[in-house]
Amino acid sequence: MSAPENREAFVRPPALELRGVTKRFGAGASAGRGARALDGVDLVLGEREFLVVLGPTGAGKTTLLRTIAGLETPDAGSVALHGRDARALAPADRDVALVFQNFSLYPSATVRENLAFPLAAPARRLSRAEIDERVAWAAKLLHVERLLDRPAKKLSGGEMQRVAIGRAIVRRPKLFLMDEPLTNLDAKLREELRVELRELARELETPVVWVTHDQAEALTMADRVALLVDGRIVQTGTPEDVYARPNSPLAARELGTPPMNLFDVERKDERWITADGVELARADAGAPERATIGVRPEHVLLDGGPSDAVVHVVEDWGPSRVLFAHVGAHALHVLAPRDCALRAGDRFRPTFDVRRVVVWPRA
């Protein structure tokens, strides 16, 4: 992986640095066999950076967070927090806050007690007044003031999530770890909290590792996105980087709804042609002979192209329409304007916006 982009990293050690972290589970895990949840993960997080780890279910996202928090011990590799080797540190000594996907509040305790709990540890030596002040601060920030005396088990999902986040922020940790914190909430609340939490992280000037399978969260919240697939980081970069310039077909498949169109092609002169002879787009003279090309659905125009396509289904997505079509035997997704008149069964000649086509050489 490349060196940390963050300039501060050169003066101060990064907030978090993972090198070659590997974790196996299941039968024979200790003997080096077993299913690999994490496979040589490298990750660097700068001060104040908001990193979103995006990946499908089962990619190892939760294991990654648990390893950073110290709830799991990696089988190989190193974890350093602010330049300190964290492998010997217990979860309590890492000064990280983990927000669990299932909230994990203390159900019989009130909201106030839940918020005060992390501050009550004797090692913190906080006075009653300081604790009250911090609880009040967190409650105000997350709009749960009127719930303070309610038992946690009587809260709604959104309220529970706010309290869970509140429990994480009261003690002002050095690092936030968020495990799909918005997944269990309804869409409206999710959007609201997305904005609020992004603001909050900025205000607190604390770095965040945010794990999710929701692309919208990744693209809207992240300073940097890390794509995690099958326990490996396949690409890291700004949202713009990973969206516009995926570094591999694997990375391309992870991001985008509808997904990026991918074709295995060969170059004949200045044209991209599939193995079964369908001409797709113009190619640069210097492009590789054999390649996989990718084009986002919004970069496909509806006429002027070299081959015929047939529309199978048209979905109404509100501001736009999505055409599920075939060009030759190959599936093609097109994001069309709302006033697009094409209907199922219609033919059109798709043109790829060649400036936006991504090309990966193929052996």
Residues near another protein (CB under 8 A): 69-71, 90-92, 94, 96-98, 100, 102, 104-109, 113, 117-118, 120-124, 153-154, 167, 171
Q: Which is nearer to another protein, 70 or 239 (CB)?
A: 70
Q: Which is nearer to another protein, 6 or 114 (CB)?
A: 114
C-alpha 273, offset from chain centre: 34
* Smallest distance, another protein to C-beta of residue 65, A: 11
Distance CA 51, CA 47 (A): 11
Angle (nearest 5°) at CA 200 between 197 and 203: 160
Dihedral-angle region of residue 143 (phi above 0 means left; psi in -120 to 50 means alpha; beta otherwise): left
* Smallest distance, another protein to C-beta of residue 87, A: 16
Angle between helices 187-204 and 157-169 in degrees, nearest 10: 10
Q: Which is nearer to another protein, 33 or 154 (CB)?
A: 154
Q: Which is nearer to another protein, 121 or 244 (CB)?
A: 121
* Smallest distance, another protein to C-beta of residue 92, A: 4
DSSP states along 7-28: GGGGTS--SEEEEEEEEEESTT
* Smallest distance, another protein to C-beta of residue 122, A: 7
Q: Which is nearer to another protein, 122 or 318 (CB)?
A: 122
Q: Which is nearer to another protein, 65 or 295 (CB)?
A: 65
Q: Are 60 and 37 in contact (CB under 8 A)?
A: yes
The neighbouring-strand residues paired with 282 are 271
* Smallest distance, another protein to C-beta of residue 12, A: 24
* Smallest distance, another protein to C-beta of residue 190, A: 21
Angle between helices 128-141 and 157-169 in degrees, nearest 10: 130
Distance CA 301, CA 278 (A): 17
